[in-house]
Each structure stands twice: as structure tokens, then as C-alpha cells.
Amino acid sequence: MDTIFIRDFRLHIKVGLYDWERVAPQTVQLDLEIGITGAHASQSDALADTIDYAQVVRRLEAALQDNKIQLLEKLAEQVAAIIMGEFNAPWVKVGITKLAALKNVKQVGVTIERGSKTL
């Protein structure tokens, strides 16, 4: 299986349990690995034979703009569902990181994998 990656994709969204997190947007970093079946695009050189990463970025920006989710785990699950459901990816790995969310901590986050990496 081939993989497309999107790294250090940053969004300014509201996410968290605490009142201050629900009021003030925070910067979160998404790191994505998206499985694509076969090597069709490497042979055809056609966008139709792969997943358009620019479309993925635009879709996630739109979906997460008015986020009401509290936990990063749930947010990662939503991102995975969009990528697999709307872009027909058989496998996805989603990492979501809050930057400087806690005093003396540079990053906190979660990583999930969904789907089958063997096709």
C-alpha cells in the first residue's frame, strides 16, 4: 500500500474540556498518513488515481472550523472517519497535537490508526 502524508497541518480551533479551552481557540497540529490502494497514480500520473491532499486539507479545515468536540481522541476519530468515508482511504493514521497546552509541556496529543494497512 502506498501512503500520502500531510505533516504539521495547523488549525486554530476550540477543543478541550476546560472552560477556557472552549472560549479561546488553540493551535493544534495534525499529522496524517493516508493509505491509497495500488500504485495506479505512480503509473498513470493522474490525480483521479490517488487522493487529492489539497482536498483533504480543505475538507478538514471546513469540518473543524466550528468544532464542539472536547477530547482529542474524539477529534482524531472524526478526522479518520472523514478521510476514510469521503476519500475512500482503506487506512489512516491520525496524530493530533496541542501545542503548549500545559505549563512546561511543549506538546500533548493522541495518535490513532483505523482501517486495514494490508490490501
* Active site (catalytic) residues: 98
Place of cell 498518513: 33
DSSP single-letter state for residue 38: S
**Close Cβ partners of 86 (under 8 Å, ≥ 6 residues apart):** 59
For residues 98 and 35, what is the distance between their CA atoms, to the nearest angstrom?
A: 24
**Close Cβ partners of 54 (under 8 Å, ≥ 6 residues apart):** none
H helices of the chain, in order, are 19-23, 40-44, 53-64, 72-87
